Structure 1
Amino acid sequence: MKIIIAAGTGFLGKNLETYFANKGHEVIILTRNPNRSNEYHWDGNTLGEWKNLFENADVLINLAGKSVDCRYTDKNKKEIYDSRVNSTKILQKAVDQCINKPKVWLNASSATIYIHSETHLNTEENGIIGDDFSMNICKSWEKEFFKQEIENVRKVTLRTSIVLGNNGGAFPKLKMITRLGLGGKQGRGNQNVSWIHIHDFCKVVEFIIDCKTMSGPINVTAPNPLSNELFMNKLRSEMKIPFGLNASIWQLEFASLFLKTETELLLKSRNVYPQKLVESGFTFSYPDVERVFMNLLSQNY
């Protein structure tokens, strides 16, 4: 296949590129700073020569979006919104101009679209979508993506949870604080953590590409969310760290000022279930967090 990944130089993009390249597929990366032969310049806002690459492509994957690991200032809020909506809009224009369009377009979204939920398990069918900055970003993102149907182009949004891997994302930071003895619960610890192993994330993307009946929003998460307290307890156990100091809400809010981030990333309860994937027959290689920790820590401890 010919696969184009927009904004493909981050944690998820690099792993997807490796995964598909190892299977013999051609992977093309759109990035602001190209430095390899398969990378092409784009800015996420304007059409350029890169649009010609879309002819006869099989798959388009859009991962563009400013990281939410920042303070939610007005400036950052605008950049978070613009980077997601504008990139989706400009890719739509590029696809419209193709004669032979990509067969499937996967656009990033987030499991954060669902409300803070400690008891209600959010599936694609019964998930409760609320009204705050993060949820509204996701709603606007998906609205822009789905507002125009394209004949013979299957559209899918990836409502992705926390992706666990050694070469990026949240897991290296979690390992670091656990080694420092700070790997206790965050806040009350009863907020749910929805997660997926990076290998399963790549497998899910491949599965969606191959499964021609899958479209619309899809929860990209393992089927077993668990509480933050239990999540951290299992990580300490696998790392053989006997204790972990808890962090109260006020301590996290104080620390977040210095770390230039928001406590929502740790304290929001993401209780999400991959109903569409399970019902379509997808098999997780790492359905339980213990297997994830065992695998990742054996690779790089």
Structure 2
Amino acid sequence: MKKIVLAGGTGFVGQYLEKKFREQGYQVVIISRKPHHVNWTDYAGMLNALEGAEMLINLAGKSVNCRYTEANKREIFDSRMKTTEALGAAILNCDNPPPLWINSSTSTIYRHAEDRPMTEASGEFGKGFSVEVGKAWEQALFSFYLPETRQVALRLSIVLGKGGGVMVPYENMVRFGLGGKQGNGNQLFSWIHIEDVYKIILYLRDNDQMSGIINTTSPTPVTNRELMKALRKAMNRKVGLPTTKWMLSIGGVIIRTEPELILKSRWILPARLEQDGFQFAYPTLDRALHNILHE
């Protein structure tokens, strides 16, 4: 049986990938802190899981949907660096290492951009904690020299899918009348349907010329104003009250998250995927929202 390893595969994206790969006939081995999975402290178990696997997909890392306290920042950083370093060390000791290692990264590594889009070739790094995490995360991946294993960093944008991730709070905002623009509404929202994340992984598996940095985002980002309008339309809500920057700052304290997650302008394009001919299942937001909310 074909085998893949999902590291940190217990979240929204990981559970979706596990289901899809099992449907494809794969044995899926998960590394996590849960008792029925291979534990991060079990080096022999990790080595056995990786031995002969078709690919490793690493999604491990504490959610950034929290307040950036010193304790949370340390956990966000360590949960990404330590797991990536542990996986690389294990691959080095495999007799039959996985030919493909896909490691999660973040599109928030790019600067706040309202002037032009960021691509893999022309994108500029931003400043701040989340940017430094992204840079260190990718450095941890590519610091390993693995001649038999192709390494890919997925700079993931915000993932949209049914019943999880950011769709739950966005649906709640619209449902309770707060579906207007957030801040000035001009900030760009780069997103990707969860099915396209899966399709991109399959594409990377089948196209061994693809390695390095991959912007994992749809080809049609929208402004925050357009996002909220599309959500209201999809949910049949005519009116949505706007949320000002100061309201988001207060709300962030109450719900224990950072306003940056909403206010930063992420204008990112998947240039490498498009140039290579990848076809998105959900290239536009309207089509993605129709699938998520109505199909």
TM (norm. structure 2) is 0.97
Determine the structure 2 residue equivalent to 1:261.
257
The root-mean-square deviation of aligned C-alpha atoms, in Å, is: 1.1
Q: Is 1:69 aligned to 2:65, yes or no?
A: yes
C-alpha deviation, 1:48, in angstroms: 4.2
Could you tell me the percent identity over the aligned residues?
Answer: 44
Counterpart of 2:268 in 1: which secondary structure? coil
More off after superposition, 24-33 vs 100-109: 24-33
Counterpart of 1:217 in 2: which secondary structure? strand
Cα distance between partner residues in 1 of 2:197 and 2:140 = 24
C-alpha deviation, 1:49, in angstroms: 2.4
- What code does the residue aligned with 1:175 have? E
Determine the structure 2 residue equivalent to 1:22.
23
32, 40, 43: which one aligns with 1:42: 40
Q: Is 1:88 aligned to 2:98, yes or no?
A: no
Cα distance between partner residues in 1 of 2:232 and 2:92 = 50
Q: Is 1:10 aligned to 2:11, yes or no?
A: yes
Determine the structure 1 residue equivalent to 2:287.
291
Counterpart of 1:138 in 2: which secondary structure? helix
Contact 1:59 1:104 in 2 (8 A): yes
Cα distance between partner residues in 2 of 1:203 and 1:143 = 25
Contact 1:158 1:220 in 2 (8 A): yes
C-alpha deviation, 1:131, in angstroms: 2.3
1:229-267 CA-to-partner distances (Å, cap 9, x unmatched) read 011001101111010000000000001001110000000
C-alpha deviation, 1:205, in angstroms: 1.1
Contact 1:70 1:261 in 2 (8 A): yes
Counterpart of 1:169 in 2: which secondary structure? coil
Cα distance between partner residues in 2 of 1:78 and 1:20 = 32
Determine the structure 2 residue equivalent to 1:161.
157
Cα distance between partner residues in 2 of 1:34 and 1:62 = 18
C-alpha deviation, 1:119, in angstroms: 2.0
Counterpart of 2:141 in 1: which secondary structure? helix
C-alpha deviation, 1:148, in angstroms: 2.0
C-alpha deviation, 1:50, in angstroms: 2.5
1:10-37 CA-to-partner distances (Å, cap 9, x unmatched) read 10111111111111122111111133xx
1:142-189 CA-to-partner distances (Å, cap 9, x unmatched) read 011101220111000000001001131101111111011101111011
Contact 1:4 1:30 in 2 (8 A): yes
Contact 1:142 1:157 in 2 (8 A): yes
Counterpart of 1:178 in 2: which secondary structure? helix
Cα distance between partner residues in 1 of 2:122 and 2:157 = 17
Cα distance between partner residues in 1 of 2:168 and 2:126 = 30
Determine the structure 2 residue equivalent to 1:188.
184
Determine the structure 1 residue equivalent to 2:50.
54
1:40-80 CA-to-partner distances (Å, cap 9, x unmatched) read 2225xx73423221111110011011110111011111111
Q: Runs of 5+ in structure 1 lacking a partner?
A: none
Runs of 4+ in 1 over 6 A off after TM superposition: none
1:63-122 CA-to-partner distances (Å, cap 9, x unmatched) read 011110111011111111100011111111110110111000000001001000012100
C-alpha deviation, 1:225, in angstroms: 0.5
Cα distance between partner residues in 1 of 2:28 and 2:273 = 24
Cα distance between partner residues in 1 of 2:51 and 2:212 = 23
Q: Is 1:139 aligned to 2:135, yes or no?
A: yes
Cα distance between partner residues in 2 of 1:193 and 1:154 = 30
Count of matched residue pairs: 294
Contact 1:42 1:48 in 2 (8 A): no
Counterpart of 2:111 in 1: which secondary structure? coil
